[in-house]
Amino acid sequence: MNVGFACLSIGVYHNDYKTIRKDNLTDSKLIEIIKYNLESLSYIIDYNIKNNLKLFRISSDVIPFGSSPFNQLEWWIIFKDKFKELSRKIKDNQIRVSMHPGQYTVLNSPNEEVVDRSIEDLIYHAKVLDYLETKSTSKIILHIGGVYGDKQSAMKRFLNNYQRLPQNVKDRLIIENDDRSYNIADVLEISRSLNIPVVFDNLHHKINPPNVQKTDQEWINLCRLTFKEKDGTQKVHYSEQDPLKQPGAHSKTINPNTFLDYYHLLNRDDIDIMLEVKDKNVSAVKIKDCTNKNLKAKDLESSWAKYKYSILEYSPNTYFQIRELLKDKTNLDPLHFYNRIDNALNEPLLLNNQINAIDHVWGYFKTDLIEKENYLKKLDKLKKGSLSVKSMKKYLFNLAVKNNITYLLESYYFDLV
DNA sequence: CACCGTCAAGTCGCA
DNA sequence: TGCGACTTGACGGTG
């Protein structure tokens, strides 16, 4: 089983995607942004390699206006070398990348212009995967689209418009059930006509189930039959509901107990599971560790190094308990380790604890007296309530960047809230 | 420097 | 009929 995450990552420096408004768009600005975004992609790929994560979704935002006439650049030529470099990294490390156009790419719209733009958008996605020299196992995952008051006609329109796609898009296109219009039975029906793979999404399914009653495992086994050899290992999406938000909202993190129950019911290993969750790579590493039969003490230690200041911030007690726990290297219990961490991150934040964590992080810097005075002034303001913890953390992050403290730049502390 | 509204994309549910 | 929700960074304006 491979587990992966989507687009962005926590604790990776320079991992964000920049964009631009139409009003300010120029070729030179576009080039600058694409260069930056491809570097971000490169850093995230490096992170995946380092953490042995073999499944990854590339953000559609990597090329701003990638399918729009506003972007006339031949970016695949301008950045040929960068694409080559990325392609080599992905290939050498056998990372399966995919892409997932957003909710605005609607192939079955009754509006011809929307369909035209959607086809252009799918061509753009295929182009990125083509220039990364990925095989047909690198997929573009798409939802069916809208219903427009007549589902049968809308599904028919999807089938017809699919035929308008160029072959390189067809080779990669796979379809997924969504949380309000097309349930898994609908998507499987479309798959039977087009002979293309189906991605099962457990949370969408929970919210939007078909009339036919089957277990998730049964649906997943049906979807499995839609994956041919050229399509690679079956892919599914896995996410959990955020209990405080509207139905369909992804949870902050994956609960490893819930995941393992689900995974054990699947009772198979030949499956790729894309996690859709707010804390992205953090959950991917967690699940990776909790399912790793050859887990080493250093795996948990490297994870702990990234969590520790967040835990100190939320719960000093847990901080000391986990430090003790990790001293026993013969008895590894990743589930217990991650449950302790997740529980701590659910405790209420107290200013005193936050200041304590800030002071620990500050201890990493070897600064001059002027900087120290600056810090003490900020600390004083923080205690008086005239400076927010958020601002203070931002200040510390910038110091970590300036002093190039890798240990801190890789920490979850600046991103986990 | 922090915060807020707007933008940009398409659909749908709800006043 | 039109607006809010979904998503997220950029950006202009305000405090």
- The per-residue DSSP string of A186-206 comes to HHHHHHHHHT--EEEEHHHHH
Nucleotides of B under 7 A from a protein CB: 1-3, 7-13
Q: What is the pLDDT of residue A245?
A: 83
As a rounded value in angstroms, the CA-to-C1' distance for A275 and C4 is: 28
Model pLDDT for residues A351-403, shown as the tens digit of each residue: 999 999 999 999 999 888 989 999 999 999 999 888 889 889 989 999 999 89
Q: CA-CA distances (angstroms) from residue A354 to A15, A230, A286, A358, A387? A: 26, 51, 24, 6, 13
Which amino acid would we find at residue A245? Answer: K
As a rounded value in angstroms, the CA-to-C1' distance for A324 and C4 is: 50
Pairing type for strands A173-176 and A2-6 reads unpaired
Q: What is the pLDDT of residue A246?
A: 82
Model pLDDT for residues A40-61, shown as the tens digit of each residue: 999 999 999 999 999 999 999 9
Q: Report yes or no: A383 and A366 within 8 Å, Cβ to Cβ.
A: no
How far is A300 from A313, CA to CA, in rounded Å? 19
CA A401, A404, A405, A411 torsion: positive or negative? positive
Q: Where are the alpha helices (DSSP H) in A142-255?
A: 151-162, 167-170, 184-194, 202-207, 216-224
- pLDDT surpassing 90 at residue A276: yes
As a rounded value in angstroms, the CA-to-C1' distance for A249 and C5 is: 12
Q: CA-CA distances (angstroms) from residue A69 to A65, A66, A72, A121, A228? A: 8, 9, 6, 11, 35
Which amino acid would we find at residue A286? Answer: K
Nucleotides of C under 7 A from a protein CB: 5-7, 9-12
Pick the range with the lowest mean pLDDT from A14-18, A21-25, A215-219, A283-287.
A21-25
SS3 A287: helix
Q: Above pLDDT 70, what percent of chain A? A: 100
A21 touches strand C (CB under 7 A): yes
Q: Above pLDDT 90, what percent of chain A? A: 81
Nucleotide nearest to A7 (CA to C1'): C8
Cβ atoms within 10 Å, residue A143: 25
Q: Report yes or no: A98 and A140 within 8 Å, Cβ to Cβ.
A: yes
Residues A400-407 have a mean pLDDT of 91
The closest of A390, A308, A409 to A357, measured between CA atoms, is: A308
For chain A, give the mean pLDDT: 93
Q: What is the pLDDT of residue A256?
A: 97
A20 touches strand C (CB under 7 A): yes
Residues A148-169 have a mean pLDDT of 95
What's this model's pTM, rounded to 2 decimal places?
Answer: 0.94
The pLDDT confidence band at residue A242, using thresholds 50, 70 and 90, is confident
Strand partners, A393: none
Residues A139-144 have a mean pLDDT of 95
SS3 A366: coil
The pLDDT confidence band at residue A131, using thresholds 50, 70 and 90, is very high
**Ordered domains of chain A (ranges, CATH):** 2-290 (3.20.20.150), 294-417 (no CATH)
Which amino acid would we find at residue A207? Answer: I
Nucleotide nearest to A18 (CA to C1'): C9
The closest of A384, A381, A402, A401 to A392, measured between CA atoms, is: A381
Q: What is the pLDDT of residue A379?
A: 93
As a rounded value in angstroms, the CA-to-C1' distance for A295 and B13 is: 48
Q: Closest protein residue to B8 using CA and C1' atoms?
A: A21
Query: A57: phi > 0 → left, psi -120 to 50 → alpha, else beta; which?
Result: beta
Instruction: Pick out residues whose CB falls under 7 Å from strand B.
Output: A 21-22, 103-104, 106, 109, 111, 113-114, 117, 145-148, 180-181, 388, 390-391, 394
Query: A133: phi > 0 → left, psi -120 to 50 → alpha, else beta; which?
Result: left
- Residue A32 CA, chain-centre distance (Å), reads 24
Model pLDDT for residues A75-91, shown as the tens digit of each residue: 999 999 999 999 999 99
Q: What is the pLDDT of residue A316?
A: 97
Chain A residues 97-156 with Cβ under 7 Å of strand C are 103
Model pLDDT for residues A279-304, shown as the tens digit of each residue: 999 999 999 999 999 999 999 999 99
The pLDDT confidence band at residue A346, using thresholds 50, 70 and 90, is very high
In the block, residue with structure tokens 């992205």: A280
Residues A96-102 have a mean pLDDT of 94
Q: Report yes or no: A168 and A161 within 8 Å, Cβ to Cβ.
A: no
In the block, residue with structure tokens 């931002």: A394
As a rounded value in angstroms, the CA-to-C1' distance for A6 and B14 is: 32
Nucleotide nearest to A20 (CA to C1'): C10
Q: CA-CA distances (angstroms) from residue A14 to A42, A47, A279, A393? A: 10, 11, 17, 17
Consecutive H or E run containing A57: strand A55-58
Q: Report yes or no: A96 and A232 within 8 Å, Cβ to Cβ.
A: yes
